[in-house]
Every structure is written in C-alpha cells, then in structure tokens.
Amino acid sequence: MGLVSFDITCPHCLKERAVIEAFAEKQIEKTPLFNVAFVCRSCHQGGVAIVEIPSDHYHGPMAESQKKDLDILISGNSQYRFRKIYPAVKKITAPESTPPIADRTFVEAKEDLQRRRYDTVVILCRRVLDISTKKLLGDEAGKESLSQRIQMIYKKGLITEQMKEWADIVRIDANKAVHTDEVFTPIEASQILSFTEMFLVYAFTLPAMVEARCDQKRSDSASI
C-alpha cells in the first residue's frame, strides 16, 4: 500500500525535514480540493492540508496512492498543490524595537523551545541579555562581564530590582547549561524565555513607544 507524505515544516515542532504522513482525506464538495489529515512522526501532532488535485485526476492523493500502490510526496513542485495548511506555521518575532542581533537570537530561542531544545533556549537567552546590556551601555560596557553589566544597568534605573535578579538567574543557569550536565525542563526553559521577552519589552519596546509618543506630541504642537 502506498504512502502519502508532505514536504513541509511541521507547524508544531518546526522540524524542517520531519516525516509528515497523511492518514485520511475527504473531498470538499465537488471541487478538486481535498482536506488531507496528517500527523508528524517526530512530535506526533497533526493537522490538515487543503490539497488541489491535477485536472486529469478524479481521486484524492490517498486514494490514488492506494489504487496504484504508489508513494506520493506532496511538495511545492509536485503535481498536487498546497492551498492551505492548518495550523499554519506561525511567524516568530521578537518584541518591537529589539536590536537586530538580539532580535535574531531571541527568535532562534523561541524556535528552539518549539523544537524541544531546552538547554539551547537557556544559552540563547543569556546571549540575548549579553547583546542587550552592551547595547544599553554603549561604550560604558567596555570589557565588563555580563554580571557587572547587569548591575550597571540596574544602577542606572534601566531595569528594576526584580529584573536584575531574574537576569542573574538566566546568566547562572546558562553557565550551568554550558559547563555542567544539568538538564532543563520545558517549564524552566519557558520561564527563562518569558523573562527574556519581558526584559526586551522593558529595555527597548517601552522606551521606543514613549519616544514615539513624545515625538508625535512635539509634532502636533509645532503644527498648531
């Protein structure tokens, strides 16, 4: 019996070359479109793809595969066409106004959380803090350690005491991830990622919003 699979990124675990296998299909009324249910063999979560069959076909890909005992791989270049996939792969973003390198690193951390690479999440979050503190301090950062930079931005009032304590937790946990055999749980990695996101919002997003609002008020005043 043939197998129908999809050449797509899993919308759940984000694995790019996962085996995505179809297990059921149903035609959408009398159209060339079929709802094809699938499951990812890596994370065992599923979804539905809307697939358009070729004009000279009468059956869905699963029926065609079983009828001809043929394996069918549905990709962007195959005779079958993707129309939609549910759930869609969500675009992962960092908080607005995050510096570019910190932005990319934070997005990578969020992707790794979905991919269940929990130790890597913690390490990347530390890197986000490292980049961010240097950006906040500018030339003052010098050759100071991350621990010292966290203390410096706290003394400048750029973060709260609670944020300073959390930043130190991320720093220490990331060192453990690199230098010890300690394994982080999904909850721990998620908590550290959530704090890192709040740090970015507090350090960059909110100040940028305030600045934009002040600029708007100055512009409005000048036009009166």
pTM: 0.74
What is the DSSP code string of 27-62? E-TTSSEEEEEEEETTT--EEEEEEEPPTT--S-HH
Of the three residues 86, 109, 125, the one that is the final residue of a domain is 86
Tokens describing residue 185:
């749980």
Q: Does an H or E element contain 76, and which?
A: none
Residues 46 and 137 in one domain: no
Residues 66 and 170 in one domain: no
Residues 78 and 145 in one domain: no
Indicate whether 128 pLDDT > 70. yes
Residues 120 and 16 in one domain: no
The model's confidence at residue 216, banded by pLDDT at 50, 70 and 90, is confident
Indicate whether 107 pLDDT > 90. yes
What confidence score (pLDDT) does residue 75 get?
84
Indicate whether 97 pLDDT > 90. yes
Indicate whether 16 pLDDT > 90. no
The number of domains in the chain is: 2
The model's confidence at residue 186, banded by pLDDT at 50, 70 and 90, is very high
Q: Long-range contacts for 85-92 (Cβ within 8 Å, ≥24 apart)?
A: 85/8, 85/11, 85/47, 85/48, 85/49, 85/50, 86/47, 86/48, 86/49, 87/11, 87/12, 87/47, 88/11, 89/9, 89/11, 89/14, 90/11
What confidence score (pLDDT) does residue 214 get?
83
pLDDT tens, position by position, 40-95: 998 899 999 999 999 888 889 999 999 889 899 998 777 898 899 999 888 899 99
What confidence score (pLDDT) does residue 202 get?
94
Q: Mean pLDDT over residues 108-132, rounded?
A: 94
Its domain, for residue 53, covers: 4-86
Please state, for a pLDDT cut of 90, what percent of the chain lies above it. Answer: 67
Indicate whether 222 pLDDT > 80. no
Indicate whether 224 pLDDT > 70. no
Residues 72 and 154 in one domain: no
* Alpha-helix runs per DSSP H in the chain: 61-68, 100-114, 118-137, 146-155, 161-179, 186-200, 206-223
Pick 134 or 213 by higher pLDDT. Answer: 134
What confidence score (pLDDT) does residue 223 get?
67
Residues 58 and 105 in one domain: no
Tokens describing residue 44:
């065992």
Indicate whether 218 pLDDT > 80. no
CB–CB of 170/105 below 8 Å? no
Residues 55 and 158 in one domain: no
Torsion of the alpha carbons at 130, 153, 212 and 107, rounded to the nearest 10:
20
pLDDT tens, position by position, 132-185: 999 999 999 999 999 999 999 999 999 999 999 999 999 999 988 888 888 899
The overall average pLDDT reported for the chain is 91
